[in-house]
Structure 1
């Protein structure tokens, strides 16, 4: 009887996730909340705990990042990233993804990639490199970047799950595994992706466009391409303040002695530290760069952050309600499978990322199962990072669509069969390479 109820309730959870995925956006949160209602009122389960700590981190980070964007900080970061990419145009399939990754880590969002896409496309094409190669890997690299950012919504969810007893696995413990794993994964993937597709000179579609005068022939010019953004002193100052805030969070994570003490004489946990630092960062940006506060709710970072928070609220509450009622069963059955084959955990995170296109939702849904199964936290963190590439397995993400539209050569395709798009192989290669590297680094020094 217990198994039957477990299966039925699991189907309710999965059904709500599927329906939320179809609705997308805030629909994920709404269906999550509806699932909680079904589990509580129909099956009599005790409501789980809403992810309050994670939500507060997301809200504080989104507020500070939106202040930075309003002041022009994102534009300044984009201009710097464009210059870095332009310095090595011949190695753009490696350099562009690494720069996209780095700036997504610093900003805590993959939205920074959008203004870089035409820069990457133009530089690649000018130098006779198939644009789909750097474009596709740059897009996918921003997915794993959110497992390496101290200020991403996914990291907020991860920290609140692991930095309390009995794990006490803090932000810096996660970063020292995820960052090197992601870098190794990107480097490995760049070698594979650089072999995908025909060279421009051998591509009949590209050559036909050139012959018709639709696009110019590759010029071979290594001239730097400027991002189409307006750079201001206020924007530069806002970005520097925000990045210093990110650095402060990392330093507080590294050196517990710098944190204030709580009532029990122990260093304050990183959850409130992140929130405090981000509020201070937002206030300093307000005083120094003078962004228009009334515009904050219209910023793309703010909108995306609020949608993520709502989705996180509903689905995380749903899974916490379900998992809380079946902890022993999951630990003894599903947990044993995951313990015997930890790759099942990575597959679970990957698939939830595919279905929901939300790394924070995948974190709140699957990581508790990995914790219950007793996977070493270093290994768990490394595999968790690699699985984040899964949000790009299907060609439905905004940055994928934008990359295809910016590629005037037509080499970046969204496909017609779900698996024939330009991002499919880069997603799989980056996921596998990062998961493998993450598991190794987790065993070596992850704890």
Structure 2
């Protein structure tokens, strides 16, 4: 491989047995485990952009570190990166094709966050959710299950209080014996084609199988003028939709007590860069119009969830400096300013706030929050809780919030 190219991976500082390392994570999920590289090896990997030859990499290494490295050593490093499926190569593409075909042949989407984002054992999971809701205290219930909510998708342990406060309120507000259609719009953290993608696959959970309404998925896709259901593979390793399902199973009384319409949402970064509203794009506008049509036809039985974390700040997310209390306080204050338009039903105001910042705080929940707020067409929401998870070792934080939009 004369001109190696690194795949799109997340990189952040890490330590292993007291040594500084760089961790690589695959948001597409083809490489399930973290790959830890020494900084000098990561330096080589980071230069693999498809335009540099092995000789270029060798010369850059010598300039950077002042150490001699042979062409055979460079070739060996590239071969190891390829073996770990970190490069865009024939090796990886053949592996990806096999994995994709196996997934598309499945009737149900397997769990990918059980055992990491939440407990895999249903008894442990049930106990944890009960404890989270108990610690949230007795909420003041709404007259009915709200029309929509915004929820975190961070790991349960890290979003404990926010999950507890939000789902305690939702559970207390359910009236009667209903089997609603739950439409979950979730951030897609990996690569996907198009701005939105549906799936006909059911979702597996520790509490059983949650049925996807395949007919409605197909109808929504047709109404939006999509080709098929869109990029169904975007659901394969995306955790944002899955993270809501254990809580929904709990508050509705089982995996068979609601129907699901899962939707992955692609990045809107191009619109942020251009300072242009996403609604000016034909594909985005058509999909939001289709969501509005669904809401109009099924308002009494539909419940929307935007599965969305907020800011990602600190060293893990690209900042050269670790996060401190002063910066974190500023980030949380900006979050609340940013969410004010959402509470007022103003999707464009929410987008405009992030665009004015150049998305410098890396708000991963922009796509689902924007799409849902736009589809709700001016309906107002209420902030239930705002929180954050802070990692003092990495000097990084993720913020999140719970909001409800009453009927």
Give the TM-score normalised by structure 1. Answer: 0.25
Larger helix percent:
1
Larger strand percent:
2
